[in-house]
Structure 1
Amino acid sequence: MNNLLEFALRAAGGMERYNAFSSVSARLHHSGVLWALKQREGVLTDATVTADLKKQVVSHTPFLPSGDHSLFTPGRVALLNAEGAVTETLDEPRASFAGFELNTPWSNTQLAYFAGYTMSTYLRLPFVLAGDGIVTEEIEPWHVDGQPWRRLRATFPDTFATHSKVQTFYFDADGLCRRHDYEVEIQGNNAAARYISDYVAVQGLMMPTRLRIFPRTEDNTSVAEPLIVGVDLSDFRFT
């Protein structure tokens, strides 16, 4: 494990504290242009998300206008009703996005796949970067308002469902993750920068409550419009 990752893990509360829990849940509110582009506006605007902390298993509820909830794993996504009966499934979901672009509509199970893999990473940062098969290296810093943000480049294994195989994470002087760059492979490899802020302490761990995702340009800067996705998180609970 490199020094920057160790620094980030300590800043977020420490691996020992993180390993004391098995899951995290939060209330989320979505905004941004993505949902209308995907013809899924309102489906997950306000929901509860629960993520397993040890493996990629995530649930969102409700899936409006139904009362269904999702169950995401990298190899299969299902929607289930209140009684636990499966109403819809999608096996090998990654393959279903072949040829998709930013404005290609999604089905509900494809939405569940995207929402599942994103929150599996977002809610577990930076601890997820210490997982098996994920290779990290520190690269040159990026300066913001004259201050250096240290950068960690992560290469994910093929078995890990995420935006792209190679991603970059930016950490401030306190060791908190402030920016996250990637390409969204399932919608034409569009480049994005996710800004992370408004951290709160939750049961000994630091969690961000505000996520804002913008297009990223070739010179590694982001543009202020459009807001692709906004995520506001609250009511965290670790168990």
Structure 2
Amino acid sequence: MNTLAQKIIDAHGGLETWKTFTSLSAHLSQGGALWALKGHADKLNETNVTVGLGDEWASHQPFGADDKVTLLRPDKVEIKDRAGRVLEELDTPRASFIGHTLETPWTEPQLAYFAGIAMWTYLSMPFLLAEPGVVCEQLDDWNENDETWQRLKVTFPKEIATHSTVQTLYVDAEGLLKRHDYDVEIAGDTPGAHYISDYTTVSGIRFPTKRRIFPRQGDGTSLPDPLVVSIDLSAIILS
């Protein structure tokens, strides 16, 4: 494994500990401009998410005021009522975003797809670096806010549904994540700078509980406004 990737994984609790768990759940308090822009203001302001560890799947509940439940897998999205009846489904969901821009509204299954791949990626990182087919390459260091962060370029195989094929992680001297860059392919390749902070330890694994995503400029710097997405996590459980 890439030396920096190993350092990052170890700093977050280590692969051996991570692999003793198969799922993770958390409460999310979310905000930012993206949700209303996509036609779904307040739908996921307060919700719970459960994700698979290794096997890629994610479920949000409640999904809206009527307590619907989502199930995201890379090849299919389902939205169910509280009794488990399927209300909507979308096969090959990635293809449904072809031609989208940042301003294109999303259907409910498209929102469920975005939210699912996003939270699966965030909650599985940095342990995704050890997945088969993931390629890591150390880049030059980055200076921001009087700090120097090491950077890791991550290239994902097509089997993993995530924001973009190529992403960049920024870590501090200890190896903890500070920032995570990607281009949201399903929203017109919109570039984002995702800031990560406020760590807690759960069952030996270190998790950031505060995430703030801002626009990213061509030179790699971020803009202070607008706040695209905010995510505060609590009640994290590994099982």
Please classify the TM superposition score into its range, dividing by the shorter chain length: over 0.9
Q: Is there any run of 5+ residues in structure 1 with no aligned partner, and where? A: none
Aligned residue in 2 for 1:199: 199
> In the TM superposition, what whole-angstrom CA distance separates every residue of 1:90-140 from its partner, at most 9, and x where no partner exists?
000001111111111111100000000011110011001111111111111
Percent identical pairs in the alignment equals 47
> In the TM superposition, what whole-angstrom CA distance separates every residue of 1:176-211 from its partner, at most 9, and x where no partner exists?
011001111111111110000000011110001000
- Displacement of 1:147 after TM fit? 2.8
Q: TM-score scaled to structure 2, two decimals?
A: 0.98
- Displacement of 1:85 after TM fit? 1.4
- Counterpart Cα distance in 2 of 1:16 and 1:76: 30
Q: Which amino acid in structure 1 is aligned with residue 227 of structure 2?
A: L
Q: Is there any run of 5+ residues in structure 2 with no aligned partner, and where? A: none
- Displacement of 1:71 after TM fit? 0.2
- Counterpart Cα distance in 2 of 1:107 and 1:145: 38
User: Where does 1:211-226 land on structure 2 (aligned, <5 Å)?
Assistant: 211-226=211-226
Q: TM-score scaled to structure 1, two decimals?
A: 0.98
Aligned pair count reads 239
- Displacement of 1:65 after TM fit? 2.2
- Counterpart Cα distance in 2 of 1:6 and 1:151: 13
Q: Which amino acid in structure 1 is aligned with residue 212 of structure 2?
A: R
Q: Which amino acid in structure 2 is aligned with residue 147 of structure 1?
A: E
Aligned residue in 2 for 1:9: 9
**1:10 counterpart SS class:** helix
**2:21 counterpart SS class:** coil
Aligned residue in 2 for 1:145: 145
Q: Which amino acid in structure 1 is aligned with residue 56 of structure 2?
A: Q
**2:124 counterpart SS class:** coil
- Counterpart Cα distance in 2 of 1:232 and 1:226: 17
User: Where does 1:1-239 land on structure 2 (aligned, <5 Å)?
Assistant: 1-239=1-239
